[in-house]
Structure 1
Amino acid sequence: MSVSISAVHVVVDDPDAAVAFYRDVLGMAVENQVDQGGFRWVTLSPPGQPGIQLVLSHPRAGRSEADGEAVAALLAKGELGSVNLRADDLDAVFERAAAHEGAEVVQEPTDQFWGVRDIALRDPAGNLVRIEQAR
């Protein structure tokens, strides 16, 4: 038996800004876009990994009004957790991120005591994105 990651959901308040970040900074490809109920879900995949999907959705999409408001409030505070990724060229990713308007650099490339070198960014919605490169 094997289990693998199929999709990771990331809540964003501006799908266009989020797509620009994940596509232009992180090199992911837009695989699908679905409009439903006045909202849009966007699915992206990392290069060479079409079986792994990052799904961007709005805080109010598919939720009750009260739940949507609660999720939107957590998103505005940057409290929805993080996305952890791995890159083969961390410095190149950092350079693209530092030059992109929608990316906020939280931590420059740093060697961590647990054996990785990583960076930390916030996407345009404020989600924390940590990207590591094994030493």
Structure 2
Amino acid sequence: MNLSSIRIITANIENLVKFYEEVTGISVKQHTPDFAEINTPTATLAIGSTRTLQLFGGNNVAQPAQNRSLIIEFKVEDVDKDYERLASYLQENIVQKPTIMPWGNKSLLFRDPDGNLVNFFTPVTTEAMARFDSHNRK
């Protein structure tokens, strides 16, 4: 089994599409006015409007801008460079400047316009780099 995608449900799809294009530098593929995707080599971040909830059983299935338990994580080449590139854009949405975590990743934490927590990280210790090398060989 492989994780294929994570989907964010939002009341303002245009705002999130613009935000994720800016922070990732990846063009978003907008399939319909209510559904878009950011494709990476390992997984996809999907963005759906609240109108798509009707396809999944109704408005009560998910609520936009209510997440407080999920972190959307992107492995980046150099988290310090991304911080320099994005600091003025993110401004008050930065939760934590680049910091080395106990498990060996250097992480930049920030919130998207809906309040979802986003982590840009770079493995920096030998152990962390080896862990990601082994993931790539599977």
Query: What TM-score does the superposition give when structure 2 sets the normalisation length?
Result: 0.74
Q: Is 1:71 paired with 2:63?
A: yes
Matches within 5 A, 1:1-135: 3-35=1-33, 40-46=34-40, 49=41, 52-63=43-54, 64-65=58-59, 67=60, 71-72=63-64, 75=65, 77-79=66-68, 81-100=70-89, 104-135=93-124
Change (3 A) 1:56 1:29: same
User: What amino acid is aligned across from residue 92 of structure 1 in structure 2?
Assistant: K
Greater RCO, CA 8 A, separation 6+: 1
Change (3 A) 1:87 1:101: closer
Unaligned runs of 5+ in 2: 125-138
More strand by share: 1
RMSD: 2.3
Identity of aligned residues (%): 23
Unaligned runs of 5+ in 1: none
- What is the rounded CA distance, in whole Å, between the counterparts of 1:29 and 1:127 in structure 2? 20
Aligned residue pairs, count: 121
